[in-house]
């Protein structure tokens, strides 16, 4: 990474003469944006890209870390934390997919009375951006905005199965398979084989892979260009999610996701 971010520097130069402009705040926010564009960066890399000295880069990054918006890995590279999601959650009501998807989530909720989740894959984790809780006393609840590993959730696997090959390979190369339960897949070869089956079948299953006692069924949503960036899942206790019920959910979920994908501009079904 041997370039200076000319666009961000240009914005700073054009705006710094305005009486209200706080240059240090602008630089800090630009560094936040820079980290969002990269998996992780060192102090030296940020200094070079932002055209600032190393000491200044270190102060900006350390401040972001102190505030909880960034953290540092074992190689002293800084990366953004999920706290940034909290900011995005404030504007999720204006997230168009939520508005479009809500009636479909409600339809599934009325039919199955299990927890319905709408998820988005950010390249590393799958984030729950909307949900409808089951009214059953025994249920598994995850908060909106929470992130979970994609490889052991039905939301995540439904999206991973339809990623372009190069993007999936990049994801798998960086992936560390952590066993959350005895059912968690910890072999990349087995995971790839499962993703192939999901692509053929159109539905994914989390069979107590993230949490013992919880089963989930997921299916992808496709946008106008055929990309699967979102997914819907139905989750419930294993005692209510037997094989017959899962088959019923799969049939209905695929129909719903096809209809919703059409609303999103996808007409490939």
- The domain total for the chain is 2
Which parts of the chain register pLDDT below 70?
Answer: 1-17, 19, 88-95, 138-146, 266-269
In-domain check, residue 268: no
Structure token digits, residue 200: 């053929």
What is the pLDDT, as a whole number, of residue 109?
96
Verify that 109 and 190 share a domain, yes or no.
yes
In-domain check, residue 1: no
Task: Find the largest Cα–Cα distance for the chain.
Answer: 67
In-domain check, residue 45: yes
Verify that 247 and 114 share a domain, yes or no.
yes
**What share of the chain in percent tops pLDDT 70?**
85
Cβ pair 160, 229 in contact under 8 A: no
Run of H or E including 176: none
Verify that 65 and 113 share a domain, yes or no.
no
Task: Give the structural domain span for 23.
Answer: 6-81
Verify that 168 and 76 share a domain, yes or no.
no
Structure token digits, residue 269: 């079904």
Specify the residue for token string 């999601």.
85
pTM for the whole structure: 0.65
In-domain check, residue 22: yes
Phi and psi of 230, rounded to 5°? Answer: -130, 165
Verify that 13 and 145 share a domain, yes or no.
no
Contacts with 139 (C-beta within 8 Å, 6 or more apart), sequence order: 114, 115, 133, 236, 237
What is the pLDDT, as a whole number, of residue 124?
84
Verify that 91 and 76 share a domain, yes or no.
no
In-domain check, residue 269: no
Its sign, for the CA torsion 144, 150, 156, 159, is positive
Verify that 50 and 73 share a domain, yes or no.
yes
Verify that 73 and 107 share a domain, yes or no.
no
Verify that 189 and 127 share a domain, yes or no.
yes
Verify that 25 and 72 share a domain, yes or no.
yes
Helix axes 188-201 and 165-174, enclosed angle (nearest 10): 150
The partner residues of 116 in beta bridges, in order of sequence, read 132, 234
Specify the residue for token string 């953004």.
80
| Final residue before a domain boundary, out of 81, 111, 136 | 81
What is the pLDDT, as a whole number, of residue 85?
73
Cβ pair 257, 198 in contact under 8 A: no
In-domain check, residue 145: yes
In-domain check, residue 166: yes
On the CB side of 221, CA atoms within 13 Å amount to 27
CATH classification at residue 67: 1.10.10.10
| Final residue before a domain boundary, out of 34, 61, 81 | 81
How far apart (Å, rounded) are the C-alpha atoms in residues 203 and 200? 8
What is the pLDDT, as a whole number, of residue 167?
92
Verify that 191 and 91 share a domain, yes or no.
yes
Residues comprising the chain, all counted: 269
What are the C-alpha distances in Å from 250 to residues 35, 42, 51, 210, 222? 38, 45, 53, 20, 17
Give the burial class of 31: count Cβ atoms within 10 A of its Cβ; 0-12 exposed, 13-18 middle, 19 or more buried.
buried
| Final residue before a domain boundary, out of 56, 81, 106 | 81
What are the C-alpha distances in Å from 79 to residues 51, 157, 202? 19, 24, 34
Give one DSSP letter per residue of 5-54, joined into a string: -HHHHHHHHHHTTSTT--HHHHHHHHHHHHHHHSS-B-HHHHHHHHT--H
In-domain check, residue 35: yes
How far apart (Å, rounded) are the C-alpha atoms in residues 262 and 254? 12
Structure token digits, residue 145: 């905005």
90: helix, strand or coil: coil
Structure token digits, residue 252: 């209905």
Verify that 72 and 204 share a domain, yes or no.
no
CATH classification at residue 177: 3.30.450.40
């Amino acid at each position: 990474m041997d370039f200076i971010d000319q666009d961000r520097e240009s914005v700073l130069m054009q705006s710094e003469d305005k009486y209200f402009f706080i240059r240090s705040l602008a630089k800090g926010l630009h560094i936040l944006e820079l980290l969002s564009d990269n998996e992780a960066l060192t102090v030296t890399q940020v200094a070079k890209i932002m055209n600032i000295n190393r000491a200044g880069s270190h102060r900006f990054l350390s401040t972001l870390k102190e505030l909880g918006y960034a953290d540092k890995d074992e190689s002293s590279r800084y990366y953004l934390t999920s706290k940034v999601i909290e900011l995005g959650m404030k504007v999720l009501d204006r997230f168009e997919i939520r508005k479009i998807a809500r009636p479909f989530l409600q339809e599934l909720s009325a039919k199955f009375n299990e927890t319905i989740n709408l998820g988005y894959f950010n390249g590393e984790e799958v984030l729950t951006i909307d949900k409808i809780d089951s009214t059953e006393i025994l249920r598994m609840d995850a908060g909106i905005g929470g992130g979970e590993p994609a490889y052991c959730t039905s939301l995540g696997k439904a999206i991973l199965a339809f990623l372009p090959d190069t993007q999936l390979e990049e994801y798998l190369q960086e992936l560390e398979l952590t066993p959350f339960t005895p059912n968690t897949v910890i072999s990349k070869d087995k995971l790839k084989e499962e993703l192939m089956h999901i692509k053929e079948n159109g539905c994914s299953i989390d069979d107590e892979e993230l949490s013992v006692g919880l089963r989930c069924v997921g299916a992808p949503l496709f946008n106008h260009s055929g990309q699967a960036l979102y997914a819907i899942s139905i989750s419930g206790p294993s005692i209510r999610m037997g094989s017959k019920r899962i088959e019923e959910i799969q049939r209905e979920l695929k129909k719903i996701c096809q209809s919703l994908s059409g609303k999103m501009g996808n007409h490939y079904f």
